[in-house]
Amino acid sequence: MELNSIKPADGAKHAKRRVGRGIGSGLGKTAGRGHKGQKSRAGGYHKVGFEGGQMPMHRRLPKRGFKSHLLKFNAEITLTSLGSLGLADVDLLTLKQAGLVGDMVKVVKVINTGALTGAVKLSGIGATVGAKAAIEAAGGSVA
């Protein structure tokens, strides 16, 4: 093989569609644009979602729901994952180092999912009522 003999694979390249070149080409006269109207004219088009002046779908439908932008700073942790750490004292920094919560998290809350075997002392971490009862039953504390 030499540089002057290489060519693209069969079907990889095809000729550009040439419009407006007479009746025989099949794309003469209106050049595939139909008759009249905004889309047939040069430079005439509309933005995405435009419905010819009718109230567009995204404005007809009711607005619903809300997602707080502060949620990225909150995190939850289960009793099971808290027990799997194997630490007596747990705070936000140890959870971040263990990879159980993200680096941007500022508020962590323990939820009552799973079981806790060893005693764990939480500092600077919240807990639900059920989780707090489970932690204290295991001999730990929530501060």
Identity of residue 24: G
What Cα–Cα distance (Å) separates residue 109 from each residue in 70, 92, 105, 121? Answer: 15, 10, 11, 14
Alpha-carbon gap, residue 25 to 39, rounded angstroms: 22
Per-residue pLDDT at 28? 94
Could you identify the residue written with the tokens 């600077």?
124
Q: Architecture of 71-142 per CATH?
A: Ribosomal Protein L15; Chain: K; domain 2 (3.100)
| Segments making up each domain of the chain, as ranges | 71-142
4-56 per-position pLDDT tens digit: 999 999 999 999 999 999 999 999 999 999 999 988 999 988 899 999 899 99
Evaluate if residue 117 carries a pLDDT over 90: no
**Spatial CA neighbour of 79 closest among 28, 23, 40, 130:** 130
Both structure tokens of 21 = 């070149």
Per-residue pLDDT at 138? 92
62-114 per-position pLDDT tens digit: 999 999 998 889 999 999 999 888 888 999 999 999 999 999 999 999 999 99
DSSP state of 39: G
The number of beta carbons lying within 10 Å of the beta carbon of residue 99 is 8
pTM above 0.75, yes or no: no
